[in-house]
Amino acid sequence: MDLEDSLRPVGLGLTLCLILSIAAFSPVLVRGQIGIVVPTGFNVGLFYPGLSSPTSMTWGPDDNLYVSQQSGEIVRLVIGGDGFPISSVLVAKASADLLGLAFVGSNLWVSYTGNVAEFVLVNGTVSSTRIVLSGLPYGRHQNDEIIYGKDGFVYMGIGSTGDRTNGNDPRSATIVRFKPDGSNFAVFAKGFRNPYGLAFDKDGNLFATDNGPDAPAAPDELNMVTQGGDYGFPNYFGDPPDGSGTIGPTSILQTHSSSDGFVFYDAAKFPAEYVGNAFIAQWGASSGDTSVGMRIVRVPLQKTDNGFAGQEIVFATGFDHPIDVIDDHRGGLLVADYGSGAIYQISYVSGASSSQSNSATTNTENQNLPLPSMLGNIPLDFLLLIIAFGVLLTFLRRRAKQHGGLGS
């Protein structure tokens, strides 16, 4: 057997092994190789990478996903027939610290430092911009997420200007509401330090997360918000004393966790015990303590004489500062991770094995791709390595032909 013949099976074998190794270990080939841990039966996938400090997400009337970034840029993720993004488009740019997005009809509303603006979209392109509100108070915190209610009002949280003080502006440390034309502006409820996330449950009840103070530390909260209610800040945190005249939290959340965007899960894909739960993104501690927050918790709510009550349960860990959670329009959840600049998808797969003992779970959509399709996703440096290996084999074969074969 000559050298060329001996190289052929070895070369092909090594090339195939190299390709399969790259396919197996390259993080872009299989969604979900991300070190996120979820309960048994759930699946984590990388929905979209490459963002810069995402802060909020909302679905548009065009069934595309709109994502704000702290820089003020708003990106539209164009969703394909399989439910995943096929492209991204820069829609608009507001000033920095853009924390809230919502659609009011077909127009996109944004909440950024001290302002609320409306972008009029025509075929996904901004045709005009209108400042709805300006001069809102800000300092330690600012105006946060924004949502549109079925009652025709826009709701928004405004954080306190200090750690344990709300300054002299009566709009600070409140949840406000107003009509889309900016009229009927009023404080809806007060006594919140930083009511970052807002969401309605299926019955139309308004809830808000609230970030507790840093010094001395006090817990975060999930609150059911009632019109005219006082929720204790700056005097009380957590459960208030009897006779305080303030409303206690629906759920006490981890101290320093920065509990932010959240959603109520009302689809039918998750097991029954998860339906109706509030799923909350906990950004984590500003001190950098990785044992605090940096996770998704869920709060199953039970009706009580005073509204609702529930305790947080850890649902998913391994994120790098998650900040918002919304439904994925396919029975799962999307998580915007501020730290990694990625959006992750959490779904439930009936009969799936536990991912609690794994460093990552995978999206089965990409597991059975034919080899040519998989190669299309290999990064350029790996492709160059494969090509170089093939060139070397070709060179050795030609040398073998030139110098004769070796007998066996």
Q: Give me the residue spans of the domains in the chain.
A: 3-26+373-403, 42-366
Q: Which one-letter DSSP state was computed for residue 273?
A: G
Helix (H) or strand (E) holding 292: none
Flag whether the pTM goes above 0.85. no
> Do 109 and 103 form a contact (C-beta atoms < 8 A)?
yes
Q: Strand locations in 21-84, DSSP E?
A: 42-48, 54-59, 65-69, 73-79
Is the peptide bond prior to 170 cis by the omega test (within 30 degrees of 0)? no
Q: Which amino acid is at 32?
A: G
- Please name every residue paired with 111 in a beta bridge, in sequence order, or none if there are none: 100, 116
pLDDT of res. 20: 36
CATH 3.30.70.1230 correct for 42-366: no
How many residues in total does the chain contain?
408
Residue whose tokens read 């299989």: 30
Cα(300)–Cα(310) distance, integer angstroms: 6
**Residue 221 φ/ψ region, left for φ over 0, alpha for ψ in the -120 to 50 degree band, beta for the rest:** beta
Question: Beta 198-200 vs 186-190: how paired, if at all?
Answer: unpaired
Helices 380-403 and 3-25: crossing angle in degrees, nearest 10, is 170
Q: Show the tokens assigned to 204.
A: 């139309």
Neighbours of 346 (CB within 10 A): 25
Strand order in the sheet with 198-200: 198-200, 206-210, 220-225, 251-253
pLDDT of res. 8: 38
Cα(174)–Cα(157) distance, integer angstroms: 6
Could you tell me the sign of the dihedral formed by the alpha carbons of 172, 174, 179, 185, in that order?
A: negative
Per-residue pLDDT of the chain (408 residues; tens, 9 = 90+): 332 333 233 344 434 343 333 333 333 323 334 799 999 999 999 999 999 999 999 999 999 999 999 999 999 999 999 999 999 999 999 988 999 999 999 999 999 999 999 999 998 889 999 999 999 999 999 999 999 999 999 999 999 999 999 889 999 999 999 999 999 999 999 999 999 999 999 999 999 999 999 999 999 999 999 999 999 999 999 999 999 999 999 999 999 999 999 999 999 999 999 999 999 999 999 999 999 999 999 999 999 988 999 999 999 999 999 999 999 999 999 999 999 999 999 999 976 443 433 333 333 233 232 333 333 334 444 445 555 555 455 544 544 444 333 333
